[in-house]
Structure 1
Amino acid sequence: MNETYAFIEAEKTTHTVAVLCRLLNVARSSFYAWQAVAKARAARKAADEALAHEITVIHVASRHTYGVPRIHAELRRLGRAVNRKRVARVMREYGIQVPTAVDGAR
């Protein structure tokens, strides 16, 4: 559905929103609700990128040995109030992980 709303956003300079919504069979109120939270989505993405940078710095400083629990603890020690599940999600999305050993031993 996001693609539909993004299409309406891109084409609203050439056609009215009402016409585009009618053609695509979506409610105008839904489009405007999606548009209203666009700033919040952008702010969350920027905050996640900043957190990913902090996590990367801690991860590199630990010689790529810290996982989610230790990185979360280090962020808390530094005064950064962040949820452990958010740390896990950001690490997963940005591909920050502890390399696995070939023989299974660490």
Structure 2
Amino acid sequence: MTVVDFIADQRTSHRVPHAVSCRALEVSQSWFYKWLGRPTTTRDEHRADLTMAIREVFDRSGGTYGSPRIHIELRGRGWRVSKNTIAKIMAELGLAGRVRKRRRSLTRQGKRPAARDLVRRKFTAPAPDVAWCGDMTEMW
């Protein structure tokens, strides 16, 4: 939202006169009227087209793509835009990709067979240096 949009929004939504808003923001009323009636620039049109393209790719992905994947998709379509610009537009639109949940476990099933239980689960030894045991999750 630009300053002009903010002043216009205050005028319509909250009935704050534009003169008061201009004075509070330290801009002149002539500046406000100049920017209010200006035609759209090519940059604004390009930004609007980019926003529509981002929205379309995001919706087509089912809401899963984040800015890096949308960047790859748009580069494939011929857009020249950075990931940071896409991330900024997505934040303005309130779009966020879903994060894949990684399967996490503390122990992994190995491909090797389990070691034989030589102490037969008896962890007390009759004398020192007779039986050694330990707890190891994984041995490579």
* TM-score normalized with structure 2 length: 0.44
- 1:70 offset after TM fit, Å? 1.7
Preserved contact between residue 58 and residue 70 of structure 2 (Cα < 8 Å): yes
Provide the C-alpha distance between the structure 1 equivalents of 2:95 and 2:24, rounded to a whole number of angstroms.
41
Structure with greater contact order relative to length (CA < 8 Å, sep ≥ 6): 1
Provide the residue aligned with 1:78 in structure 2: 77
Structure 1: which 5+ runs fail to align?
9-19
Letter in 2 for 1:58: V
What does 1:12-91 correspond to in 2, within 5 Å? 30-38=28-36, 39=38, 47-91=46-90
Query: Aligned partners of 1:88, 1:95: CA distance in 2, in Å?
Result: 10
* Displacement after TM superposition at 1:88 (Å): 1.0
Structure 2 counterpart of 1:31, one-letter code: Q
In 2 relative to 1, CA 77–3 (structure 1 residues): closer, same or farther, beyond 3 Å?
same
After superposition, the CA RMSD in angstroms is: 3.7
2:7 to 3, 6, 10: 3
User: Taking every aligned residue pair, what percent have the same amino acid on both sides?
Assistant: 25
Q: What is the distance in 2 between the residues matched to 1:73 and 1:3?
A: 37
**Structure whose alpha-carbon radius of gyration is higher:** 2
Give the count of matched residue pairs. 89
> Could you tell me how far 1:68 is from its partner in structure 2?
0.7
CA shift for structure 1 position 73: 2.2
Change (3 A) 1:45 1:105: farther
User: 2:102 maps to what in 1?
Assistant: 105
Cα 1:36/1:64, change in 2 over 3 Å: same
1:48–1:90 contact (8 Å) kept in structure 2: no
Q: Which has the higher helix share?
A: 1
Q: Residues 26 and 76 from structure 1, CA distance in 2 versus in 1: closer, same or farther, beyond 3 angstroms? A: closer
Displacement of 1:82 = 2.3
Q: What amino acid maps onto 1:32 in structure 2? A: S
